[in-house]
Chain A
Amino acid sequence: MLRIGDLGVLLAGAVLVVALTLWAWSGGRGDTVVIRAAGQVVQTAALTHVQSFSVNGPLGTTQIEIEPGRARIAADPSPRQLCVKQGWLTLSGQAALCLPNQVSLEIRGHSPAYDTLGY
């Protein structure tokens, strides 16, 4: 019942579905990270390879770790450790703020995501 071309068409269709899925549903992945201290951008890095940065704030040093596709605050002197507990950030628009130390980490993607919309 199935001829050789039918299999080819089905395969091409499956490839199309997979490609569409990857293309349409991976738009939220971030590819760069922006590090700010006291509101000023101190570092912009691509999420392509393992890196780490140390950023100095009023309280001390914040350690930032970057791995392919994700980034996190590894250590921070802030008392409540909220930004550290956020863990790894992967999606465009995600951000971790270490407030008393005034350091922030923000993931950017090729399509900027909104964090708030006003009408």
Chain B
Amino acid sequence: MTHLAIELPVTREDRRIARLAALAIGLTLAEAAIPSPVPGVKPGLANIVILLVLLEYGWRAAAWVSALRVLAGGLLLGSLFAPGFWLSAAGALVSLLVLGLARHLPSRHFGPVSLSVLAAFGHIGGQLVLAGLWLLPATALLKLMPVFAAAALIFGAVNGVIVARLLAAPATERRQSSPCTPP
């Protein structure tokens, strides 16, 4: 019997992205259990992870974590390639693009709260555009837009404050949960 093993070289960065993606996926699953009065209004807890990754490891790592989260979240929730999955993907994509631009804002004046709020608006914007083009007549969405925008503002601000607090925590405290130090 031949022993066939395909070895893929795994870098330290791969492991880090996998671990952070697992964290984001866990938050996505936990969030799916929270009942929501309006479909589509969610705290977006996974965005906390995405934002932390962006600020600590850069945009590329954040894009990887975000893509893995959307894909694996869809697999685990059973909504892979269903409309909800595409809405999630569109939101994540626009949110990442917004973050890619917003992270160049001077960090002396614009902290994680700004990034989080902008990303939240990007998220809901991407979802609304796709939903308007594809799923629902745009007029039906117009009436819901203030609700979505208000949710994006509130949850974006709250998530941003959480990110700011996590970043401000002493490094040793944070390293306990992630023993792998960046190269």
- Which of B36-44, B73-81, B103-111 lines the interface with chain A? B103-111
Residue of A nearest to B110 (CB): A5
Besides A1-B113, A9-B113, A13-B121, 5 other A-B contacts (C-beta < 8 A): A3-B108, A5-B109, A9-B117, A10-B153, A25-B146
Cβ of B156: which chain A residues have Cβ within 8 Å of it?
A: 13
Contact mask B116-154 → A, CB, 8 Å, 1/0?
Answer: 011001000000000000000000001101100110110
A8 and B161 CA atoms in complex are apart in Å by 15
A55 and B153 CA atoms in complex are apart in Å by 51
**Contact (Cβ within 8 A) B109 A3:** yes
Cβ of B121: which chain A residues have Cβ within 8 Å of it?
A: 13, 16
Cβ-Cβ contact count across A and B, 8 Å cutoff: 65
CB distance from B99 to the nearest CB of A (A): 13
Cβ of A17: which chain B residues have Cβ within 8 Å of it?
A: 146, 149-150, 153
Residue from the list A4, A10, A21, A25 in contact with B117, Cβ < 8 A: A10
A14 and B149 CA atoms in complex are apart in Å by 9
Asked, given contacts A1-B161, A1-B164, A17-B150, whether A6 binds B145 with beta carbons under 8 Å apart, the answer is no
Residue of A nearest to B141 (CB): A24
**Contact (Cβ within 8 A) A10 B157:** yes
Which residues on A are within 8 Å of B, measured CB to CB?
1-6, 8-10, 13-14, 16-17, 20-21, 24-25, 27
Consensus secondary structure, chain B interface = helix
State which size class the interface on B falls in. 20 to 34
Cβ of B165: which chain A residues have Cβ within 8 Å of it?
A: 1
A85 and B105 CA atoms in complex are apart in Å by 59
Some 25 contacts from A to B, beta carbons below 8 A apart, are A1-B111, A1-B164, A1-B168, A3-B113, A4-B109, A5-B106, A5-B109, A6-B113, A6-B114, A8-B114, A9-B113, A10-B117, A13-B121, A13-B156, A13-B157, A14-B153, A16-B121, A16-B153, A17-B153, A20-B145, A21-B146, A24-B145, A24-B146, A25-B146, A27-B142
Consensus secondary structure, chain A interface = helix
Residue from the list A3, A13, A20 in contact with B110, Cβ < 8 A: A3
Asked, given contacts A1-B161, A3-B108, A25-B143, whether A10 binds B113 with beta carbons under 8 Å apart, the answer is yes
CB distance from B109 to the nearest CB of A (A): 4
Asked, given contacts A9-B117, A13-B121, A13-B156, whether A3 binds B111 with beta carbons under 8 Å apart, the answer is yes
CB distance from A43 to the nearest CB of B (A): 31
**Contact (Cβ within 8 A) B142 A24:** yes
Chain A to chain B: the 10 pairs with minimum beta-carbon distance, closest first: A5-B109, A5-B110, A21-B146, A6-B113, A9-B114, A13-B153, A20-B146, A3-B111, A17-B149, A6-B114
**Contact (Cβ within 8 A) A9 B110:** yes
